[in-house]
Amino acid sequence: MDRVVHPIEVESYRRLRARLDTSHFPPLTRAVVERVIHSAADLDYATDLVMDEGDLEKAHSALHSGAPVVTDVEMVAAGITRRETVCRLRDAKSGPGLTRSAHAIRLAYEQVGPGALWVIGNAPTALEELLTLDAAPALVIGLPVGFVGAVESKAALRESGLPAVSNVSEKGGSAVASAALNALLYHPLAQKTELQKTESQKNESQKTEEKS
């Protein structure tokens, strides 16, 4: 994705890296960690966030291949730039045992089906509802904020085994959730994964052996 980076952002990242060494993180993990920290000015996210590089690689491919992006609230959607998103909160209604945020997740799943990227930064009940569905997500960015249900819903996400970005503490919110998605959105497409490099090297080796 061609993107002009503002000088203020460049300087912000320079200061971030001067205060925190992120060079040991794999490429996509580093991108997510840095952009989340940049969005919140909170260095503690470096040890609070939980994710897997392999999951991020697959999610990156799905995202850039056009997989739908679903958000729990419009504030998250507003933070995701250069990409259309689905948010059904305005259409949702609460009911017995069902919050409006949870109903919005049901409506969104009916619309997009499996394989989407889900970005939840506000409502723990939205994340809880998503975990009850057979959504087969490309990725769940589960970073709801709050003292009630947030920690528990994020722990349940990690226990589910779904590909995910989460964090351990009560922290989170719309800004950091959209930042995590933007990190994948902005990251260059040209980079090959280690698996792709290995396969490419094997193919070249086989071609050489066949010629000799």
Lookup: tokens for 6: 């503002």
Q: In terms of Cα–Cα distance, which of 115, 113, 94, 111 is closest to 103? A: 94
Per the listing, tokens 């009911």 go with 95
Any catalytic annotation for residue 64? no
Side chain identity, residue 195: L
Which residues face 165 on adjacent strands?
141
Q: Which of 38, 60, 103, 187 is catalytic?
A: 38
The DSSP bridge pattern shows strands 69-71 and 117-120 to be parallel
Per the listing, tokens 């919110």 go with 173
CB 139 within 8 A of CB 59: yes
Q: In terms of Cα–Cα distance, which of 106, 121, 115, 109 is closest to 153? A: 121
Task: Give catalytic residue positions.
Answer: 38
